[in-house]
Structure 1
Amino acid sequence: MTIEPNSGRVEAPARELSPLAELVAMWFKRLGRAIKTLRLYRSENPFVVQLREQISQEILDLVQRHGGMDLRVRPSEILLEDQPVVRVKQRGPGSVIFPGPEEEFPFLLYRDGIRLLRFLPKLSTEEVGTFIEAMAIAGRRGLSQDDLVTLLWQANLVHIQIESVPLEQTIYLSSRPTEGRGRGSGRGLAFGWSPSGEEIHADLGQVAGSQGLHKDNFDDWELPGGSVDVVQAYARLLPEMETALEQSQTEWVQEWVADPQYEAPDVLRLLLSLDPSDEMRRAVVHSVVTWLVASIETYDWSAAQRALELLVEFDPERALSLDELNASLAEIDTESCAEHLDESEPLDQARFFALMVGLGRPALGLAVAVMAQARRSRTRAASLTALAYLCRDCPETLEPHLADTRWYVVRNIVFVLGQIGGHEVLGQLTTAAHHPELRVRRQVVLALGSVPPDERRPLVAEQLDSDDPRLLSAALNMLARDDDPEVGRQILARITAPSFERRRETSQHALFAALAEVADDSMVPALDELLRAGGWFAQPTYTRSAAALILCRIGTDRALAVLETGLRDRSEAVRNACLEAMDSRSRL
């Protein structure tokens, strides 16, 4: 016996499989991985073609070697004879074991009504390929227009047969009071008489008696009035049968080749013209939303664009479709969508993001999720452009994403805010400016370049307290754009602060270099104090030399007078700093 950790469930040891069952089980595992790949890439991809041929050849060899195969389908397992070749493993809430891709097959087949899957000996590669394609289509998450039974029936397979549950059955219940029932009493449904629990909960199959769910019901068949020679009757019917068969096949091919996407708009418009009521419009809009989301899930961007155009026509204000769009788009598998876009051509990516812009705010969450999960820079760049268009009129909708725990997502959202620009994004950038990640704050400084100078200046000046060279450099460059005395005062305040001497040498040099570019005559007194700091015991320091050089660069009479006075100072360090500054002036 084995007990899975933290599950509380006891499982019997796995039964040993026969050699054939082991081969079939391995084929289903490879089929599961292959179908997962088929959903990511186009069908004409060389790798997909090779993979499909390999999987098909494996099952062909098995079927031809063993003369056919019957697979019984249950909700949680697929049986070859009485041996489970696919079984859904039981997992507890604490289990870390991930299900294999083949474990979805039992429920997928059973859900669509298939109870037996039979592979005949003359199975062909084309039939196996059709079966694999049907499994891939029916197993996609979310909305699906066809089930497996329909897909396999339309494919008209000869050597792959299925047994499925009947579409309609009749339930017979007793039409008498529950007391005193006899075995041979009548059947029917009588008004006002509720069937007993024994009748409802019985095994609804082909059982003895008049109650239950009967597969064979011949009560309403008329008995023939005479007899004919079967061979002669068949010969008389054969010409008409061949004509009817040819016509039916021609109509079937035309129906199969015709794309319903191009016929659907006219049908929906006709429905609205025949019944312009609000109820009909809601039903039509629901159909279009379903079509739109299903096209996105199958990566058919052209069909999704047609559905969107139809949605704009039927519901231009989104009054009927907004809630359903928000709910349906939130259920899309964004990870698979991002993987598909990473492998797509630029034109397909452009179609997807144009679709997102056309959808508007309901597509915001999907666009952000694709941006966060994409692995290629081209995909991320396209998603950021789409987000900038989506939120240009309402940048506040991006604010919830600034709380994302992934720093790179926050940085990219800040980039989008910078592309939008204007005073409307200042509140969101203020929030991001206090993010603990330096790379986010550096992006904030760059994004503030699109905000009006008077509004961005206090926020940029806060970043002068950072000791990160790249962040400090970005903030100084941004402040240098403004021809405003306040910029110099902000820089000078950091230089004269007591903590300045404890800052990195590179940060000190950057602040003095920036001050030299913006300093004016109003800063001479503060620079004079830096020059003479220390009195008689003054020592040569970088701060003293830099102050003297900035005074020389200002070059006004007031600044030069300070330097000339410093040449006669009693401190040798002050005299040397002034002398070096005057020498540099004479060399210019």
Structure 2
Amino acid sequence: MPGNEEINQVREIIRLFLKSKKILKMYPSNNPLCVNITDACFAKFTEFFSLTEKLSLKIGQNHIFYDSEPVYSSTGKEDNLALFFFKDGLREITFRRGLSREDMYDFLKIISFDFSGDSMDDDVVTLLWEKDFQNIQYVVDEITIVDEEDYDSRAVAEIEDKSADEVSLLRAYEDTLKNGPSVKELEIASLTDKDLQDLAIEFERDTLDKTGKLVEILFEMFLLSETEDDFNDLTGFFAGVVEYVLGREEIDTATGILLKLNYLKDAKGISDEIRYCAKKILVNISTEKIINLLGNILDGGSKIKDKKIEDFIKCLDIQAIKPLILLLGELKKIHSRKLVVEMLVILGKKNMISLIEGLNDSRWFVVRNIIYVLRKIGDRKAVDYLLKTLKHGDTRVKKEVIRAFGELGGTGVLQSLSNCLDDPDFQIESAALTELGNIGFDDAKRIILKRISDGDFGSRAFEEKKKYFEVISKWKDKEVCEFMADIVGKKTFFGRTRNYENRACAAYSLGLIGNREYLPLLNNYRNEGNRLLNEYVTEAIRQIEHEK
């Protein structure tokens, strides 16, 4: 009697047989699923042959036995492996040690045939005979091999009328089942979650292949088109295909379509009609519906390469700017917003007016992003529109406008930045100071020096005063150095605390300027008696002396 381990392995082999029947029937031999199931069967046989030299299966109408032990049972006609063998006359199949992987695959391929649907005159026995397997033998009952249309029903009828010997054999099998240990109905060939995932992937690949062929056909038709009606029809077809593939999150396919169209609209050696139509298709694709589908992909869970998104958006027409701005307000992921912003920089260079409308959006972060886009485009024409945005109620928007002023420059910028120095929010004042320093004009320098010279400047908080002296140090000319030297040496009886702060800030500024001519002055006040002044003077000296 075989042990439990042998019995379990045989049952697993039969389960793999049934699984392979389904997979090999559906896919070509080079498909990964076919390769995997063949490898699994071969590995299981290899493991079994480490226990014994052969595996003999006796075939009944609805049962399969291994050494009188039932290893398979099914009462149905569909997917009944026992009946599949039995109706063609197979009564025993033996697999021997030395079975090759190639023979394993050929056997699995044979049992995967749908003999009722493949318009074949062959049967299992014929195909086994043709292969002439060295390590697969079988026993056939010739009485049951028929060649008629009602094959299954006649086979079952003849089984019932067989000789007494055969009836006895069947009864012996049945007696074994009755008297032997009870066998529960086995769930054979149930697909695991991984199997289902593999199948889903294969279906997906199959769909991708068909979509790719459809796109190829569309482009062939496009290049062969001659009449206006043909071009009009294809314009709609292309838009429909792009919408379809984006709905399936096939961004690679969609981007490939747009890149080809973008190439054709400027290509040489083709008709003007084709170039014009390619442009028209790109315009028709640049719609809010398409952009929203793109947004679903950006905020979805799929991993998409940034380059694919960038190439897709670069090919769009300028009419996509407004939908992209709307999308910018809807996207949840910061990285997705960043991608759209970068693409708006590219499209916005072609039509800045469409971008300007985004400054009126009710959402502060959209307005700030549009200001960023205008800043990156670098067109000074945007300044006139940004001047109005400086009155926005959100500090973050104002700071972005100020940064744009610093980079763009232009008429009215200096006065606007000067006005920002009066803002009660020091964040705005500090941002304006920084940009005045970045502009670097003499007029900007005058604005800052005048503020420092104002009578109420000394009453400001120390960090605020320090910011002014830090920015003014960007001008390293004689005027600024002398201005700082006068403040460092200035002494007063009243308001000495504020005066010490001003002197410390001036020393800090001289240290940033780095002019060695002012080292003697600083050394004179190194031990002035005020801790704050001493600290900043000492640091300024150290900075100048160590400056290369």
Q: TM-score range by the shorter chain?
A: 0.3 to 0.5
| TM-score, reference length from structure 2 | 0.47
| TM-score, reference length from structure 1 | 0.45
